[in-house]
Structure 1
Amino acid sequence: MLFNSYAFVFLFLPTVCLVYFWIGNRGHHRVAVSWLVGASLFFYGWWNPAYLGLIMGSMLFNYAIGVQLNHRASGHSNRKLILVFGITLNLALLAYYKYANFFVDNFNLVISGNIHLESIVLPLAISFFTFQQVAYLIDAYREETREYNFLQYCLFVTFFPQLIAGPIVHHKEMMPQFLDDSCYQYNPKKVATGLCLFILGLAKKVLIADELSVYVSQVFTAAEQGVVLAPIEAWYGALSYTFQLYFDFSGYADMAIGVALLFGISLPFNFNSPYKSLNIIEFWRRWHITLSRFLRDYVYIPLGGNRLGSFRRYQNLLITMLLGGLWHGAGWTFIIWGGMHGVMLVVNHQWHQLTRFKANYYLPRQVSIGISWLITFTCVVFAWVVFRAESLEVAMQIWKSMLGLSPFYDSSGSLFYNDLFRKHFSVTKWILGLTVAVLVLPNSLQIVGLLPGADKVRFRANFVWAVLISILALHVILNMNNVSEFLYFRF
């Protein structure tokens, strides 16, 4: 079920909320948790009921492993072996569903073989609930958890606002909230904030991301078909995808946080205006924050982090980002994207090392900031091309056009000059408007007061804001005719 569907907005969400608080207000908290778990499984099974057994089996297995790891005082001498066994089974399951065809295809390419594997359908959210449970097992091994009952654990994994596309949550963020009696009581302030944030996120998806998808699809499809793009066409395609992905995924994150707030639960933030970043290090502190945190805590630091010298630090950064790219998808384009960001992080850290004792006396501060932003944003845009492209060849073709290495106009007929520009010149306004918006305007978390920085336009539960949000909600609902999946559902 999609957040941007009529079934979710008008049937599922109101029903779940009303029943949840009706039960919770009567003090039946365990029943309320059971209701929420059942609703979350229904939400997941809406996509394909056949995979309910997969997520339930995964939860049962990981809970059992977690129980063993939490029995640290009962004489278990093989806790490390239990942890390795648990992680191995989780990653094996993920590898089978997500990477089996990719590995077999590349193995055939290397040995000129003909091994055939039936196409495997990727279960929805398997990357997210696998990583979440792997983190739980590692934290249990580190003695950072305490034992919870199975019902609470099920809610931790399946809580539907964050189940499909994150954020990737920790037990220590969620479990104490589920145990707090206040989350079972209706909280008008949290509900108002949650509804506002949900509508802002829905507007991002429906009114911005879905509109940009038209331009993105035409450009990348044309490149796949061998059309030679003019530089401006390639740049508009890359920039359109840059903003489509941001408003699509950040819109989902806003909706997830907003829906969770309706139930009195606070989810961690995943975005904090990443396109305002002045370097790649800052970008990864602002973009997909919970994934960056997971990769840092469970990959980069265990590899040695920055404790073993500069060379090992850079090596660990590259490995971490390559794995981060592979997490996004079973394809060389994702691995290359991760590698590009790994290299950029290495260069960024090296630059900081070279300049940390030198003040910038050559450029005014604002000019320096502008150059830093432009370099960072341009690097991010170039990397998104290979992230979106179906193959490296397509990405190379678009990159060549962006760099002016392709003809400015193809005599056989250019995509934009013959079609898109004449009919949809508004893409220019989209790009300029969204660039100003992400650089100047406060983000949605700041608007609702969950982050500082938006005092003049901060949401308040009053009549004026009620009217404004109602108008926006009506406009969004009237435009929800063509329901589309969120981009991160593919990962």
Structure 2
Amino acid sequence: MFVLAWLPLVVGAFLLACRYRPGAAPIVLVAASLLFCAGNDPVALAFLICSILGNFALHLVVRRTAPGSTARAMLIGGGIVANLAPLVMLKLSQNGLSAFAALPDSGGMRSAIPLGLAFYTLQQITFLVDASRHGAERLGLIRYASWISFFGQLPAGPIAPYARMAPQFAQLGAAPPASDTIAKGVTLILAGIVKKIWLADPLASMVDALFAGAAAGSVTPLEAWAAAWGFMLQLYFDFSAYSDIAIGVALCFGILLPINFNSPLKASTPGQYVMRWHISLMMFVRDYVFQPIFQVARKLPISPTSRRYGIAWALATLSAFLAVSAWHTLALLPFLQAFGLALVIIALQFLRLRRRSASRQLSRFEARARALAGHLLLLMAVSAVALLLRADTHEQLVRMLPALVDFRAAAAIGSDLIAYLNASGHSVSRPRLLPHADISSVKSLLWLGMATVVTFACPNTMQIFGIAGASREPKWIRWRATAFWGWIAGVLLFIGLLGMTQPSQVQGFIYARF
């Protein structure tokens, strides 16, 4: 309904406003966004309206204070605390071991977080900070509301900071978006839908079955690693698909949102992985957490200067990791994971700096082998973290975690595979590769393998569609407003509609539950 009915109606009304009454274009967008929010979560509508009116009123007060004054700093600081307070309290009200334990698809409980609150709260912080700076773009209430409530990104971002988006919304409606921009947006939306239905959702079904098997009995190493890696890929494709749809919807209105992914699973170091996953969140943390803390900490009375700057960097890095963890969940286990990961990255960075002067030149083979080993260890680590996030109960964890490191049982995987192949044609005696999960073992593992190949062998959608901020790809693979890409859009539409008719249950977007 969203793609076939809601979006065409809103885009059509917006284009008519742009042509005949440009000043009404932001009003159309605000009305559509508020209706979208009310239709999905009426409680969230009340939070959103209070956030819009409260922050805009506070901004008007801040503008009357002197730049750089204590009064302005206190007002902005108080506004930041007021924005974060409901989010923190609601996150604290969530119960359960897993970060997703209180969510709709886990035990039937409703999420305690209203739709989009975790995302537009961060955008409001950028508004209070950036709009108070000298020379900042000033938006009226309607244009400001059209930015903060934009239905295309409301459920789960990307997080679009005020300084970047205000110039775009100041010109909203001045001219209708170009037809090729709308065509690119529609094609990107269809690509996101296909990615969601044919990659993320099948992986979700497999992961759910594996965790259900873990809750009922024992777990083999293959099942544990399939669950861990499967959920890692499910999370990636799910959020990546949503981001594609959000950026595509924005393009239909001539708005360019920031990208959220740059193939993070291709990253070879923990630092690269962190910065290439949920980029808009990491940019927010860099600009509004890391940099302020670093600027304060670098003034500490510590000598020599190199040590003072190193300690400042370490404190800012630790604070950034803890902020990211707290944004996702206030559960203790993920918080400790983020703390430990930050310490590891800090230690590795200091060791790298110490060894830089004394290190010998590695051969090409040694460098590639070391990079490959580091990449493999990184993927194993993030998969284990994903498993910890996904587990709903303590029983699942105590069965899954030991299975990940059960090397004796893992050595039998090869013999099980050989026995399976030798039993071809004898379905009665054929062993099951995933014995404790109520799913087709071969089909599930093949789907997992296909998703893995897509992840590492294919360029990401941001590269294909040439979205600003993505890595460069050869011109022949980039989207263009041609008949060829029109046919591809038609194929994507057909595949998407075909997927919607499948009997398997469509999964909700994971990040929309935060």
Do these two structures clear the TM 0.5 threshold for a shared fold by scoring above it?
yes
Residues 122 and 159, structure 2, Cα contact 8 Å, conserved in 1: yes
Tell me the secondary structure at the aligned position of residue 435 of structure 2.
helix
Q: Report if aligned partners of 2:52, 2:148 keep a CA contact under 8 Å in 1.
A: yes
In structure 1, C-alpha distance between the alignment counterparts of 2:240 and 2:67, rounded to whole Å = 45
Tell me, which stretches of 5 or more residues in structure 2 are unaligned? Answer: 97-108, 299-307, 413-430
CA deviations over 1:295-352 (Å, ceiling 9, x no partner): 1221222222683443443343223212211211232243234234323422442343
Is residue 478 from structure 1 mapped to residue 498 from structure 2 by the alignment? yes
Aligned runs of 1:315-464 on 2, under 5 Å? 315-357=315-357, 358-362=359-363, 364=365, 365-391=367-393, 394-404=396-406, 417-418=434-435, 420=437, 423-450=440-467, 451=470, 452-464=472-484
Q: Match of 2:259, SS? A: coil
Number of residues of Structure 1 aligned to a counterpart in Structure 2: 465
TM-score, normalised to structure 2's length? 0.84
Q: 1:227 to 1:316 in 2, by over 3 A?
A: farther
Between 481-490 and 351-360, report the one with greater CA deviation: 351-360
Looking at structure 2, the residues matched to 311 and 399 of structure 1 have their Cα atoms a distance apart, in angstroms, of 34
Equivalent residue, structure 2, for 1:108: none
Is 196-205 or 245-254 further displaced after alignment? 196-205
Would you say 1:247 and 2:237 are equivalent positions?
A: yes
Q: Which residue identity does 1:383 align to in structure 2?
A: V
Q: Deviations over 1:252-294 (max 9, x none)?
A: 0011111100111100011011111010111122110011111
The alpha carbon displacement at 1:460 in A equals 2.0
Aligned to 2:185: 194
1: CA distance, partners of 2:479 / 2:24: 34
**Cα pair distance change 1:397/1:303, threshold 3 Å:** farther
2:209 pairs, out of 191, 196, 218, with: 218
Matched residue type, 2:123: Q
Alpha carbons of 1:143 and 1:338: their partners in 2 closer, same or farther (altered >3 Å)?
Answer: farther
Within 2, Cα distance between the matches of 1:125 and 1:312?
Answer: 33
Give 2:510's aligned residue: 487
Change (3 A) 1:286 1:76: closer
Quick one: structure 1 residues 120 and 377, their matched pair in 2 at CA, closer, same or farther if it must change by over 3 Å? Answer: closer
| 1:289-328 alignment, distance < 5 Å | 289-304=279-294, 307=298, 308-328=308-328
* Residue equivalent to 2:44: 51
Alpha-carbon separation, structure 1, partners of 2:226 and 2:80? 43
Task: Report the CA distance shift for 1:391/1:30 in structure 2 as closer, same or farther (over 3 A).
Answer: farther
1:284 — aligned with what?
274
Cα RMSD (Å) = 2.7
Q: 1:226 to 1:421 in 2, by over 3 A?
A: closer
158-167 vs 75-84, which deviates more? 75-84
CA 1:422 to 1:59, structure 2 compared with 1: closer, same or farther past 3 Å? closer
1:351/1:395 CA distance change after superposition, 3 Å: farther
Deviates more, 1:400-409 or 1:264-273: 400-409
Give the conservation status (yes or no) of the 8 Å contact 2:118–2:327.
Answer: yes
> What TM-score comes out, normalization by structure 1 length?
0.87
- Structure 1 position 98, deviation (Å): 2.1
**Aligned: 1:88 with 2:81:** yes
Q: 2:485 aligns with which of 465, 470, 476?
A: 465
Query: Partner letter of residue 428 of structure 1?
Result: L
- Is the contact between residue 323 and residue 335 of structure 1 (CA under 8 Å) also seen in structure 2? no
Is the contact made by 1:274 and 1:283 (CA closer than 8 Å) also made in structure 2?
yes
Amino acid at match of 1:297: D
Shift of 1:434: 2.4
The amino acid of 1:436's aligned partner reads: V
